[in-house]
Amino acid sequence: MNPKTHIPIFFIALILTLNSINGTFTPQDNFLLNCGGNSALKLEDGRIFQPDKNPGSSSFFLLTPASHNVVYSDTKPLDLYGSARVFTQATDYSFKIQQKGRHFLRLHFYPVSSPIYNLKDATFTVGANGFTFLYDFSYSKLGLDQSVVLKEYIVDLGLDSKPLVVNLVPSSGSIAFVNGIEVISLPDRVFPATGSSISENEPVEISGNIAFETLHRINMGGPYVSSKNDGLWRDWKPDGKFLINSASAIAISTDPDSIKYSSRVSVDTAPNLVYATAQEMADANVGNQRFNISWVFDVDSGFRYLIRLHFCDILSHNVGNLLFNVYINNQSALSSFDISHKANGLSTACFVDFIVEVQIEKILIQIGPPQITSSLPNAILNGLEILKFSNSKGSLDRSQGENPIGVKVKKDKNKNNLLAIVIVSFLGGAILLAILIAAFVLYFRHRKKTRDESGGSTWLPSPMAVHTHTGNSETKISLGSFASSGPSLSFSRLLAFMEIKEATKNFDESLVLGVGGFGKVYKGVLENGLVVAVKRGNPGSQQGLIEFRTEIEMLSKLRHRHLVSLIGFCHEPNEMVLVYDFMAGGPLRRHLYGSNLPCLSWKQRLEICIGAAKGLHYLHTGAEETIIHRDVKTTNILLDENLTAKVSDFGLSKLGPTVDQTHVSTAVKGSFGYLDPEYFRRQQLTEKSDVYSFGVVLLEVLCARPAINPSLPREQINIVEWAMSWQKKGQLERAIDPHLVGTVSLNSLRKFGEAAEKCLADYGAERPTMGDVLWNLEYALQLQESFMKNVGDESSMNEIKDIPDWIQEIGDSNHDSFSVVSSGTDVPTSRVFSQLMDPRGR
């Protein structure tokens, strides 16, 4: 490693404290307003904000109409947030612009306490030059309380240097306010004219008729960089809270003065303090180090985004040594990317811009080694910016109104007449349709009542198929499908959302059984008295739509004693709900560790494993088509009141290979700690991937600890490495749950260990089928039952007498294995990565 990367991070922090680092750019337009202030205010970064009172004709701005409503803070008198100007009617700040093109517009908000105005409850809309930035913005709605809000936008003022007009419009009966405004012209080379499209793999031109909002500006591997250390007075936040697994990365840094800028990259693109730090891949202490560093960022769905990745090779000794891949939202963005080639040298700044369209509320950024490389696997990232495009309505707020602020809609008499005709025609058709639907409903209610009285089934055929198209605001299921006389594809029932609300007492929080990536799970009671588990997707989100459909499609085909049963589902606008048999015992994991439930005996554990194996064996061989679960883990094995095991959660399941295929080629999905290494390496899925994951489950059952637990000593963090090291030494009893001491047959344990070891073979061809695993587990149960019969008669040498004191008992642990396809956020940190993380997860 290059010695210069050993410069500690605190050295960078010291530079930030002592120095103010600004670029050479002097903006022609640099207007700073201290709204409501009485005098000029100098900030720590050296900038001076002028008061916005009494703007004259010679001033750089105009306030129309004038507002004399001002509030002051006693606690922050010399702060930009120590005052605010309040507006009781729509008001414009108009700035006289000299430089053409794009400008930063920064708006500062803080609810200064006042006996006259309640700024916390103020509701208002903010925009500029026909764009809507904030629609019905309010601290009370967002739960922001006393937080400072700084919003940064980029507006293109075109080639005619037209004024920038900022609009503040109070909602009906409310007020608006602002604490500070910045208008700063951008350097020509800072903002791109084009960006790369991941989906189309070609450059996309960025129109001047679009506004942008800065959502994230991140300094990877380094400390917070404030406005006084940036030539354009930007703030760069550290990346710690966005890292999915902090143990996958290690921060590196170098002397900021060593950073070079080529003729193609402006010094104002990002400060050298950003390029002087980075996150690189941590040392996993494994032979084949193939995992990704992953960051996840919250964004609004339904918008396009400009993603700028900042790179600077502060790591290598020679050019061309550092090659890696970059993924954005599970798609390949850069393959075998060579920073030094892009930047024309080491320690030289460069950046790459991408334009992506986001349909979920997350952006996932990942870097990792390429599949084939002659150099050591590594990857780095120095900085990141995420900017949101305004939509087709000119809005940057997803809750916008019909028309952008400041845009007047011209009334056309002929169009109004035509609109009236259309409305009347529509209402007439709607009334006729309502009559037909009412007749239809009455007919089927009568038919349903007749069937109920005759003892017939009340279940309706499921009209839902995976091909059903669902938008954000409607569910397109034809009414005719309800009355289909053909064979039903499902034994599940289509439930009304109101029925589910009643069953769960309006989703009472006291009935919550658990929380997963899809949403919360509630206990409920249907009208017929059936106790159920209700899994509700996050309201208003389409994030789990694919998994929702897959779950219904798969479970509609399956019925087995050891598979959880889908009772019904609801698919209404912005609601996705699945209803299952209630499993009183909950997930297997709760019975192994992390709860106060009674300890399971070895016989009970074997019976649970056998039940789960039967369920998986049915999926692989008993159904009409081979089904691969793809997410086998102890949280997806549920127990009923009799501790009967049932496999659940089929959202990631996939049909297996056909007769003439050996595998299914697909993107890698699964859970960290359980993921089949061969599946990851080759992206070729077979039922043997489930066998590997089940092998990890067997070890969890044996050891009563998570698959990955960073709180344990280094050699014990990964359950597969730790337990298999003892298995290969013939001492698997050294890893056993201490609660089982003196109750386990050594012969049974050995057979169980052999089964687990075979499941965890590196290559799928060397692993047994689930049928073979089932046979070995049943044999292990027989050996245990024989031992239990004999142990009462005489002392047996065939039992585990004791466990070394150094083996820690696992207490309450929340280190659930990270699902590489989940938007879940509780992620473990680990310094050991012998399991593999998916570079293109869900």
- List residues bridging with 628 in a β-sheet: 654
Q: What is the Cα–Cα distance from 24 to 39, expressed in whole angstroms?
A: 28
Strands (E), 198-261: 202-205, 212-219, 237-238, 249-253, 260-261
631 is catalytic: yes
Q: What is the Cα–Cα distance from 519 to 503, expressed in whole angstroms?
A: 17
Q: What is the Cα–Cα distance from 332 to 351, expressed in whole angstroms?
A: 17
Tracing tokens 């001002």 back to the chain, one arrives at 70
Q: What is the Cα–Cα distance from 16 to 272, expressed in whole angstroms?
A: 11
Candidates 573, 562, 564, 657; CA nearest to 612 is: 562
Q: At residue 352, what are phi and psi to the nearest 5 degrees? A: -135, 135
Q: What is the Cα–Cα distance from 335 to 718, expressed in whole angstroms?
A: 30
Rg of the chain over Cα atoms, rounded to whole angstroms, equals: 31
Pairing of strands 194-197, 348-358: parallel
504: left (phi over 0), alpha (psi -120 to 50) or beta: alpha
- List residues bridging with 70 in a β-sheet: 85
- H or E element that contains 688: helix 688-703
Q: What is the Cα–Cα distance from 382 to 273, expressed in whole angstroms?
A: 10
Active site residue: 92, 313, 631, 690, which one? 631
Between CA 377 and CA 281, with CA 840 as vertex, the angle to 5 degrees is 30
- H or E element that contains 16: helix 9-18
Candidates 7, 673, 113, 723; CA nearest to 347 is: 7
Annotated binding residue 120: no
- H or E element that contains 156: strand 149-156
Which ranges of 734-791 does DSSP label H, i.e. alpha helix?
Answer: 746-759, 770-791
> What's the burial of 76, exposed, middle or buried (CB within 10 Å: 0-12/13-18/19+)?
middle
Cβ within 8 Å of residue 736, ≥6 positions away: 702, 703, 744, 749, 800, 803
Cα–Cα separations (whole angstroms), residue 463 to 438, 483, 494, 776: 20, 9, 8, 42
Cα–Cα separations (whole angstroms), residue 834 to 284, 374, 837: 7, 21, 10
HSE-up of residue 190 (Cα within 13 Å, Cβ side): 22
Q: What is the Cα–Cα distance from 749 to 745, expressed in whole angstroms?
A: 6
Strands (E), 663-815: 664-665, 684-685
Candidates 401, 419, 421, 400; CA nearest to 411 is: 419
CB 754, CB 776: distance < 8 Å: yes
> What's the burial of 819, exposed, middle or buried (CB within 10 Å: 0-12/13-18/19+)?
buried
HSE-up of residue 501 (Cα within 13 Å, Cβ side): 6
Sign of CA dihedral 265, 270, 272, 275: negative
CB 538, CB 570: distance < 8 Å: no
Pairing of strands 91-95, 131-137: unpaired
Residue positions forming the annotated binding site: 535
Query: Which residues does the annotation mark as catalytic?
Result: 631
Residue positions forming the annotated binding site for ATP: 535
